[in-house]
Amino acid sequence: MITANDALALLQQIGHADIDIDNQALMSDGILSSIDIMLLIGAIEEQYNCHIDEDMLDMDCFESCQAIADLVNKATALA
C-alpha cells in the first residue's frame, strides 16, 4: 500500500520537485498538465507493475498526493 509520500516521490521522479504534499489542487491550479499525467501513469505502471485503465481515470485522481496514492492502491489491488 503506497502513501501520499510515495506519490510525492513519483511526482518528483517525473520532474515536479516543487510540489507540496499538502497541495489539494494539482490539476485545478494547473500544476500538473496532461503530459505530466501521462508521465505519471507510465511511472506508476512501471514502478508498481500494474495497469491503470481509462475507466479509473478522472481529474480528481490527480488533485493531491493522497488521491494519486489511492489510485495506485486501487490499480495494484486489481493487478
Contact between 64 and 24 (Cβ < 8 Å): yes
Contact 68, 8 (CB under 8 A): no
- Per-residue pLDDT at 54: 92
pTM of structure: 0.94
Its domain, for residue 58, covers 4-78
Model confidence pLDDT, tens digit, residues 38-74: 999 999 999 999 999 999 999 999 999 999 999 999 9
| CATH assignment at residue 13 | 1.10.1200.10
Q: What is the pLDDT of residue 78?
A: 86
- Residues 6 or more apart whose Cβ sits within 8 Å of residue 50: 44, 72, 75, 76, 78, 79
Structural domains of the chain, count: 1
